[in-house]
Structure 1
Amino acid sequence: MNNELQSFLQPAGMAMPRGHYSHATSGGGLVFVSGQLPVSPDGSVLSEAPFEVQARQVLANVSAAVAGAGSAVDRLLHVRVYITDIDNWPTFNKLYEEWAGTARPARAVVPVPTLHYGCALEVEAVALT
Structure 2
Amino acid sequence: MATPANRRQLGQQVEQAAARWLETQGLALIASNQHAKGGEIDLIMRDGENLVFVEVRHRRRSDYGHPAETITPAKQRRIVKAARFYLHAHGLSCPCRFDVVGVTGSLPALEFDWIRAAFDAY
What is the TM-score with the length of structure 1 in the denominator? 0.33
Question: Which structure has greater strand proportion?
Answer: 2
> RCO higher in 1 or 2 (8 Å CA, sep ≥ 6)?
1
Please give the TM-score of this superposition, normalised by the length of structure 2. Answer: 0.34
